[in-house]
Amino acid sequence: MGSAKSSVAIYKSAGQSVPGDKVLVNVEGMGTELGLVKSARAGTVDVDTGSAFVRVKQNDVIGKLVAVVPFFGIPLGWVGL
């Protein structure tokens, strides 16, 4: 699939996350991460990013993953995006 820097993730804004959702989250100290929701409670979401298991606020969930376009990030990098 290519590295994370060579791919583009397409996501949509999400309401309440539920277990099994693939989401983009803003993790303090780590930046934006893609992960799988393991559990969701009022106000918090537990996400497995593959390298860490993190608990974030529902407000830190950027959106649900729609698709990943592998290698599309390479030409975007050429034009400075």
Q: Strand, coil or helix: what is 5?
A: helix
Please list the pLDDT of the chain residue by residue as tens digits (81 residues).
334 556 777 888 877 888 999 998 888 888 888 899 999 998 899 999 888 899 999 999 999 988 877 776 676 666 666
Structural contact between residues 3 and 45, judged by C-beta atoms closer than 8 angstroms: no
| Amino acid, res. 59 | N
Q: Strand, coil or helix: what is 6?
A: helix
Structural contact between residues 17 and 61, judged by C-beta atoms closer than 8 angstroms: yes
- Can you give the pTM of this predicted structure? 0.72
Q: Where are the domains of the chain?
A: 4-78
Domain 4-78 has CATH 1.10.1040.10: no
